[in-house]
Amino acid sequence: MLIKINSLVINDLATSLYDITCSHVLTVHAYTLLLQWTQELGENEKMFQKHAQQIYDWDKTLTVNAEKIVELHDNLDAVQADHNRQVFLIILSIPNGCVWLRVNC
């Protein structure tokens, strides 16, 4: 009877040690995975920040250039209006220019 109890106790101890070892191995594995994921997350965060900065720079450049295009367009409209006014005045100064423009002078 004593041998059987000792055998059960030894089996229980062996099972407990096995469970503890497996648990420790799983904990180490989980820690290793967590460490790896944390490192990857840090690398991905740096890459994301780099790309976000590039997009911000591009957006800033596009905004500045859009403002320049609007300014150029406004200048072009002003130049075209002045040109049209000058052409109209030149045509009016030509004899029979009013007839050519079909306006009453």
- pLDDT tens digits for 28-54? 777 888 889 999 999 999 999 999 999
Q: Count how many residues are written for the chain.
A: 105
What's at 6, amino acid-wise? Answer: N
Domains of the chain, by residue range, sit at 2-101
Residue 31 phi/psi, 5-degree rounding, is -65, -40
Is the pLDDT confidence value at 7 over 60? Answer: no
The predicted structure's pLDDT at residue 43: 96
The predicted structure's pLDDT at residue 58: 98
Q: What is the mean pLDDT of residues 14-25?
A: 64
* CB-CB contact of 100 with 92 (8 Å): no
More confident residue, 30 or 57: 57
Q: What is the pLDDT of residues 90-102, one digit of tens each?
A: 877 877 766 666 6
